[in-house]
Copies of this chain bind each other. A is one copy, B any other.
Amino acid sequence: MNVHSDAPPAKDEKRRQILEAALELFSDYGFHGASMAKLAEKAGVPVGTIYRHFKGKEELIHALYVEMKRERLAATLEGYDPAMSLRARFELFWMNTYAYCVTHPRKFKFTEQYAFSPYLRDVTKAIQIDMSSELARFFGDGYAQGVFKSLPPQILSALISGPLNALVTRAIADIVTLDQTDQQSVMDACWDAITV
């Protein structure tokens, strides 16, 4: 236990400031549009400090991506209970994710930008490799109960996240607006897509 705990650990605090500034600048101006100098200024730290926390720009972007993925998963699982029915879990995941993305457009935009950026080699391969145990369980139960189509989980996953991401993108860009009923309908449509 830290006796002087009223002084927050400077190290992690700086790292946080840097990541926050990075999210803002990268989502608004892109990876190239945000220079390390601007980043340092926005974060309120000297440039050199960034390099003490991250090996370079690329690693910083990766680290931010990992954090975003983690946070998004946590949001997706908010209120999760293993005892919930398959359908209830589906609705929870879907609604949680949609709400999270629309509420945090910068986090969503950063992640999408990352996924499609040729900034880093072989990034796309990282898209689907990790699947949380809760989601794995969800798909496993669906197959076991004979509810899901017999397609590999990556494909079922694409049938859900595909429309969801597409619609969030359009919602953020103000091309379409989905009210509560629309969200429900789209969610139902996705359910139709993955079930027999």
A positions within 8 Å CB-CB of B: 27-33, 109, 112-113, 115-119, 124-125, 127-129, 149, 151-152, 154-155, 158-159, 161-167, 169-170, 172-176, 178, 182, 185-186, 189-190, 192-194
Main secondary structure of the interface of A (DSSP, over half): helix
Contact A151 B182 (CB under 8 A): yes
Chain B residue nearest in CB terms to A172 = B124
The 5 A-B pairs at the shortest CB distance, nearest first, are namely: A162-B162, A30-B118, A162-B166, A162-B163, A193-B193
**Within 8 Å CB of A28, what residues of B?**
118
In the docked arrangement, what's the CA distance between A164 and B193, Å? 13
**Within 8 Å CB of A154, what residues of B?**
170, 175-176
**Within 8 Å CB of A170, what residues of B?**
124, 127-128, 154, 158
Further contacts, 15 of them, CB under 8 A, given A115-B169, A158-B166, A159-B190: A27-B118, A31-B32, A32-B32, A33-B118, A33-B119, A113-B117, A124-B172, A125-B173, A127-B169, A149-B189, A151-B185, A154-B175, A158-B170, A159-B186, A193-B193
**Within 8 Å CB of A127, what residues of B?**
169-170, 173, 175
Residue of A109, A115, A158 with most chain B CB atoms under a 10 A cut-off: A158
